[in-house]
Amino acid sequence: MPYIKIWIHLIFSTKNRDKLISKQLKPQLLKHIKENSIKKNIYIDFMNSVSDHIHRLISLNSEQTISKVTQLTQVDR
């Protein structure tokens, strides 16, 4: 079996780039995203946020697509 390593840098922003991610919300938000990703078998190598967007470095396995992983890692409303 071949060795496959695909890294995707995803950036999600808040609606209208409003500064909605406060210092108090940030740890809870990142924890929620990480826990959801683990449940969905998505490996996040690195994640961080500022007040209006979130960066994620995600590793895809051979069965995952960018569109599916992006869809699965979105924060639920």
Flag whether 1 is in a domain. Answer: no
What is the CB neighbour count within 10 angstroms for residue 33?
20
Flag whether 47 is in a domain. Answer: yes
Name the token pair of 70: 């992006």
Assign residue 43 the CATH number of its domain.
3.30.70.1290
Flag whether 53 is in a domain. Answer: yes
CA distance 67 to 76: 16
Q: What is the pLDDT of residues 13-63, one digit of tens each?
A: 999 999 999 999 999 999 999 999 999 999 999 999 999 999 999 998 888
CA distance 13 to 53: 4
Range of the domain at 40: 6-72
Report the number of distinct structural domains present in the chain. 1
Flag whether 20 is in a domain. Answer: yes
- 35-62: b or e for each residue (b if 16 or more CB lie within 10 Å)? ebbeeeebebeebebeeeebebebebee
Flag whether 77 is in a domain. Answer: no
Question: If you average pLDDT over residues 59-76, what whole number do you get?
Answer: 83
